[in-house]
Chains A and B, each alone.
Chain A
């Protein structure tokens, strides 16, 4: 009799404890698990958003394999990511190195470098769209950049940066780096500050110069942090979309579209929901593979 009531109590207790998790779990199931399943499921259908659904097996994926615009868009995102991985992360690293010492205005720099990352992609895109404006009024360039180039004696460099297919993507990549380097800077600065100062002392006693100390102490100690920043950069930049939408006018999307643009337009403009889902699945798989490889790489570095 007593045992039974104990059991009932435990059951009640367990249920109570589960109730704490229930709101989170319910939201998670409805808004994460179900769309996850639905996305894979829809990718096997030909569906216009409303009306009948036709099961077509892997046809969406076959079509996707031959879709040049899709693979181009992946290349575009890859290019933006590559610029971010090299230029943006190198900048962040050197800035962090420069701030990791007793230096005046250290706090000021740390606050300022993180201001672009807190702005939205829409705001950043529209500000730069205005600065890069190619138009003239009464013989004057109204965009700041072209005005400065013209006024400072480089009229041959005046350019419609976002409309020219040759410069559009690079311009976007640079603005993207402008917006993003603060993340890497803060994380790498925190990483530099965890390096034991005794290591530097020891290197000094061993007679290592600045360069030797850098390659033998700083870089090896920072590798795990650098890899974390790299994963975050790759995942963030591959999914860039709103920034481009805010910067570029509709007309030249073919030179600057990225995977999320393709998914978005397959859904919104042509109502190919099944195809959009197939794109989303492939893109998600690519991202998971990249972060898995980088994760394995960072584990290896940690154990070495």
Chain B
């Protein structure tokens, strides 16, 4: 009887592991295949179908970086991600601090506007956005793209930070105020350090979002010197559609940084998604 039960349990656990493992392999294998193909040459890639190629060729990365101008694209992506995320953290935390701790007439109306903006999907507003950016002469400028991307992440970040600031103990703030701290000082010295977990969530989600963004980058940036990686990949694929090893090297360069950041910060992704910070 006991033997049967143990057998049943171990059989069930084996089946569960087979199920989980097969999905995990399905997740990882295409990424492995991309990296593998990035190390092959234009000759071997069509012939050699072994898992690990016999000869690893690093030239594709050099070629992608220089001839494919992925060096420029990569740098642009870094610039955009850094600027947008910094901008969002500063602007959103200032606003969230005011919504949570300070008072002024019309505060609630403005706050609910931000909340409503999060609820209403605007899939095609990029048409009107493009018209506006043309009028403002911000098409094909770094500043224009950065401002648009800050706007994309703003509402969610304000909401997360406000919920967090609401939990900040009032005593801290009162003590600081008695010591003669200005509002700006309280924001910088107390609120920002206090909200570090929430800021981590905002940083990781917005970094993913900016690094991976494509539509606005296509509409707003025409000069290839200003384009981020995602746009560069599509352009490269259009121009050299058969140079697979170099394309795979480019894809690897676009994918690996974000995977590494994710591995270091994945605790915050789980937190953010499970609503621990928001709820």
Q: Which of A56-64, A107-115, A213-221 contacts B (4 or more CB under 8 A)?
A: A107-115
Do residues B37 and A130 form an inter-chain contact, with CB atoms below 8 A?
Answer: yes
Please measure, in the bound complex, the distance between the C-alpha atom of A104 and the C-alpha atom of B24, giving whole angstroms.
14
B27, B46, B150, B263: which contacts A27 (Cβ < 8 A)? B150
Q: A127 contacts which chain B residues (CB < 8 A)? A: 30-31, 33-34, 251
Asked if B254 is at the interface of the complex by the 8 Å CB criterion, the answer is: yes
CB distance from A34 to the nearest CB of B (A): 6
Q: Enumerate A258-284 residues with CB–CB distance to B below 8 Å.
A: 259-260, 263-264, 267, 273, 276-277, 279-281, 283-284
A83 within 8 A of B: no
Contacts A31-B129, A239-B123; is A112 near B114 (CB within 8 Å)?
Answer: no
Q: How many residues of B sit at the interface, in one of the four size bands? A: 35 or more
Residue pair B262, A279 in contact (C-beta under 8 Å): no
Question: Are A34 and B132 in contact, CB atoms less than 8 angstroms apart?
Answer: yes
Helix, strand, loop or mixed for chain B's interface?
Answer: helix
Asked if residues B183 and A113 are in contact (CB atoms below 8 Å), the reply is no
Interface: A71 (CB within 8 A): no
Tell me which of A1-9, A35-43, A152-160, A195-203 binds B: A35-43
- One of A27, A99, A112, A116 near B151 (C-beta < 8 A): A27
Interface core residue of B24, B33, B126, B273 (most chain A CB under 10 Å): B273
- Contact check, A273 vs B127: say whether CB atoms are below 8 A apart: yes
Whether the Cβ atoms of A121 and B270 lie closer than 8 Å is: no
For A14, the chain B residues whose CB sits under 8 A away are 103-105
Does A284 contact B124, Cβ atoms closer than 8 Å?
A: yes
* Known contacts A20-B187, A131-B30, A186-B269; A122/B230 CB under 8 A: yes
B124 touches A277 (CB 8 A): yes
Which listed residue, B49, B98, B233, touches A21 by the CB 8 Å rule? B98
Instruction: Count how many pairs of residues, one from A and one from B, have CB atoms less than 8 Å apart in the complex.
Output: 253
**Beta-carbon contact of B230 and A120 below 8 Å:** yes
Cβ contact within 8 Å between A28 and B117: yes
Q: Quick check: B128 and A20 within 8 Å, CB to CB?
A: no
State which of B120, B247, B270 has its C-beta within 8 Å of the C-beta of A288: B120
Asked if B33 and A144 make an inter-chain contact with CB atoms under 8 angstroms apart, the answer reads yes
- Report if A99-B254 is in contact (Cβ < 8 Å); known contacts: A42-B131, A114-B262, A183-B273: no
**Residues of the A chain whose Cβ atoms lie less than 8 Å from the Cβ of B273:** 183, 186-187, 190
Q: Is the CB of A25 within 8 A of B103?
A: no
Report the minimal beta-carbon distance from A262 to chain B, rounded to whole angstroms.
9
Chain B residues lying within 8 Å of A31, measured Cβ to Cβ, are: 129, 132, 147-148, 151
Say yes or no for A128: interface residue by CB 8 A criterion. yes
Is the pair B254, A123 in contact by a Cβ cutoff of 8 Å? yes
- Asked if A17 and B33 make an inter-chain contact with CB atoms under 8 angstroms apart, the answer reads no
Cβ B275 vs Cβ A24 within 8 A? no
Chain A binding surface, main DSSP class: helix
Q: Does A126 belong to the interface (CB within 8 Å)?
A: yes
Within 8 A of B (CB), among A111-169: 111-116, 118-123, 126-128, 130-131, 137-138, 140, 142, 144, 147, 151
Which B152-179 residues have C-beta < 8 A from chain A? 154-155, 158
A241 x B215 contact (CB < 8 A)? yes
Residues of A contacting B126 with CB < 8 Å?
Answer: 263
B3 CB within 8 Å of chain A: no
Q: How far is the CA of A259 from the CA of B192 in the complex (A)?
A: 41
Query: Any chain B CB within 8 A of the CB of A15?
Result: yes
Closest B residue, CB atoms, query A42: B128
Contacts of A123 in B (CB 8 A): 212, 230, 233, 251, 254-255
Contact B113 A283 (CB under 8 A): no
Contact between A28 and B121, CB atoms less than 8 A apart: no
Query: Which residue on chain A has the smallest CB distance to residue B34?
Result: A127
Please report the C-alpha to C-alpha distance between residue A30 and residue B128 in the assembled complex, in whole angstroms: 11
Q: A75 to B248, alpha carbons, bound, how many Å?
A: 33
A residues neighboring B (CB under 8 Å) = 14-18, 20-21, 23-25, 27-28, 30-36, 38-39, 42, 49, 91, 94-95, 98-99, 103-105, 108-116, 118-123, 126-128, 130-131, 137-138, 140, 142, 144, 147, 151, 178, 182-183, 186-187, 190-191, 235, 238-239, 241-242, 245-246, 259-260, 263-264, 267, 273, 276-277, 279-281, 283-284, 287-288, 291
30 contacts between A and B (CB under 8 A): A16-B183, A21-B110, A24-B91, A24-B114, A24-B154, A24-B158, A28-B117, A31-B132, A39-B122, A42-B131, A94-B19, A114-B266, A118-B262, A119-B212, A120-B258, A123-B255, A128-B30, A130-B34, A151-B49, A178-B30, A186-B273, A187-B274, A190-B270, A190-B275, A259-B123, A263-B126, A267-B130, A283-B124, A284-B123, A284-B124
In the complex, the 10 A-B pairs of residues with the closest C-beta atoms, listed nearest first: A280-B124, A190-B274, A120-B212, A20-B98, A31-B151, A24-B95, A17-B102, A38-B128, A35-B128, A39-B128
